[in-house]
């Protein structure tokens, strides 16, 4: 049940609206949670949600958006897999006078192609992760390996930038290897296995920074398979705050995560309703919170709380 995440304040205003949602896929636990929360938020408001899963492919998203335009939906939500290549299709939506709301990832190009964007501050997420690591290792020498998100996606670009900003000027901290794990658990594991082999079985690695928790969970498995202890031999810091990372914290195998709410649809629907009801232009960027969690923050409780929320 996702009941506790629902915002019920304006339950009636969107009754009967048809809204298309072009989702990226289900590469991570966070993504799956976002999908279920979006469906539940739509249902609670009486929205007829047309859901399209793009299987990680931008071309499928573009096709889905064109399909929504052809159907004459009232609005379109899109979680853009990569940051570029949207101008043409979003211009088509604009010409059809269908408002577009971006969810959880940003795009390059003119801002008038979408009504609003609901997302976290991804540079800040990277910075929070980097500051946590810098504060934790202090003066000690620390070689970091980085698991990047999907190449060309806004969270991969921004989370890298924010982390680099946080460790810039600290001579004892260095990213020695960085590669994409495509936001998935299996790729995170595979890439981490390569890092461990290349770095003296892992002895040369002090920390792994993963752009999401799923890749961190994959990396944790690789570290264990290599005979090292994740969480102590190699520190693990990531982003999302999904239940599995709290389970890893309970086991002493993960050290920090930055929370990303899966409820991007609630603020998106609120913005659409205000826009339709009162002509209120929403803020261009609706920014969700980025809170740090460590094993000191009741990981067992956080795990259970999220399971109850329907993750
Ligand atoms: O952190 C990751 C997902 O787009 C910000 O995408 C989102 C990211 C999220 O697959 O787990």
Q: pLDDT per residue over 29-63, tens digit each?
A: 999 999 999 999 999 999 999 999 999 999 999 99
pTM for the structure as a whole? 0.95
pLDDT at 3 over 70: no
Is the shortest distance between the CB of 27 and ligand 1 below 6 Å? yes
- Bridge-partner residues for 287, per DSSP? 119
Is the shortest distance between the CB of 105 and ligand 1 below 6 Å? yes
> Percent of the chain beyond pLDDT 70?
96
Average pLDDT of the segment spanning 285-311: 95
For ligand 1, pick from 24, 26, 28 the residue to mutate: most ligand atoms within 8 Å of CB: 28
Is the shortest distance between the CB of 40 and ligand 1 below 6 Å? no
What is the residue with the minimal CA distance to atom 10 of ligand 1? 28
pLDDT at 161 over 70: yes
Is the shortest distance between the CB of 34 and ligand 1 below 6 Å? no
Q: State the closest ligand 1 atom to the C-alpha of 105, by its place in the atom list counted from 1.
A: 4
Say if the ipTM goes beyond 0.90: yes
Local confidence band at 310 (pLDDT 50, 70, 90 cut-offs): confident
**Residue 13, pLDDT score:** 86
**Residue 6, pLDDT score:** 53
What letters, b where the CB count within 10 A reaches 16 and e where it falls short, cover 273-282? bebeeeeeeb
Distance (angstroms) between ligand 1 centre and the Cα of 181 equals 12
Local confidence band at 306 (pLDDT 50, 70, 90 cut-offs): very high
For ligand 1, pick from 30, 82, 107 the residue to mutate: most ligand atoms within 8 Å of CB: 30
Local confidence band at 255 (pLDDT 50, 70, 90 cut-offs): very high
Distance (angstroms) between ligand 1 centre and the Cα of 31 equals 6
Is the shortest distance between the CB of 240 and ligand 1 below 6 Å? yes
Strands across the sheet containing 116-120: 48-53, 18-23, 75-78, 100-103, 116-120, 285-288
**Residue 281, pLDDT score:** 95
State the average pLDDT for the chain.
Answer: 95
Phi and psi of 52, rounded to 5°?
-130, 120
The residue among 210, 206, 207, 160 whose CA lies nearest residue 185 is 210
Distance (angstroms) between ligand 1 centre and the Cα of 34 equals 9
The residue among 72, 73, 80, 70 whose CA lies nearest residue 105 is 80
Q: State the closest ligand 1 atom to the C-alpha of 79, by its place in the atom list counted from 1.
A: 4
Q: State the closest ligand 1 atom to the C-alpha of 260, by its place in the atom list counted from 1.
A: 1
Is the shortest distance between the CB of 260 and ligand 1 below 6 Å? yes
**Residue 1, pLDDT score:** 39
Residues 6 or more apart from 258 whose CB is under 8 A from it? 125, 128, 129, 238, 239, 240, 241, 290, 291, 292, 293
Distance (angstroms) between ligand 1 centre and the Cα of 105 equals 8
Q: State the closest ligand 1 atom to the C-alpha of 120, by its place in the atom list counted from 1.
A: 5
Is the shortest distance between the CB of 30 and ligand 1 below 6 Å? yes
């Amino acid at each position: 049940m996702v009941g506790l995440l629902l915002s019920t304040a304006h339950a009636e205003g969107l009754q009967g609206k048809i809204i298309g949602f072009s989702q990226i896929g289900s590469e991570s636990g966070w993504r799956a949670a976002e999908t279920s929360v979006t469906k539940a938020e739509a249902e609670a408001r009486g929205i007829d949600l047309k859901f399209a899963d793009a299987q990680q492919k931008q071309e499928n998203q573009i096709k889905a958006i064109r399909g929504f335009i052809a159907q004459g939906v009232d609005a379109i939500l899109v979680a853009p897999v990569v940051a570029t290549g949207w101008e043409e299709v979003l211009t088509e939506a604009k010409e059809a006078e269908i408002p577009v709301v971006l969810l959880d990832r940003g795009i390059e190009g003119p801002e008038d192609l979408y009504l609003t964007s609901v997302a976290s501050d991804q540079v800040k997420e990277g910075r929070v992760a980097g500051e946590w690591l810098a504060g934790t290792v202090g003066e000690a020498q620390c070689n970091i390996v980085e698991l990047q998100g999907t190449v060309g996606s806004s969270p991969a670009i921004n989370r890298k930038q924010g982390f680099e900003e946080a460790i810039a000027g600290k001579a004892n901290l260095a990213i020695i290897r960085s590669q994409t794990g495509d936001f998935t658990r299996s790729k995170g594991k595979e890439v981490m296995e390569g890092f461990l082999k290349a770095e003296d079985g892992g002895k040369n690695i002090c920390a792994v920074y993963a752009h999401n928790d799923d890749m961190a969970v994959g990396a944790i498995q690789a570290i264990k398979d290599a005979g090292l202890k994740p969480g102590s031999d190699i520190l693990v810091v990531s982003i999302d705050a999904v239940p599995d990372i709290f389970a890893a914290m309970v086991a002493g195998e993960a050290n920090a995560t930055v929370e990303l709410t899966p409820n991007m649809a609630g603020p998106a629907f609120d913005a659409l309703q205000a826009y339709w009801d009162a002509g209120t232009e929403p803020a261009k960027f609706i920014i969700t919170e980025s809170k740090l969690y460590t094993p000191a923050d009741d990981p067992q409780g956080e795990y259970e709380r999220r399971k109850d929320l329907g993750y």
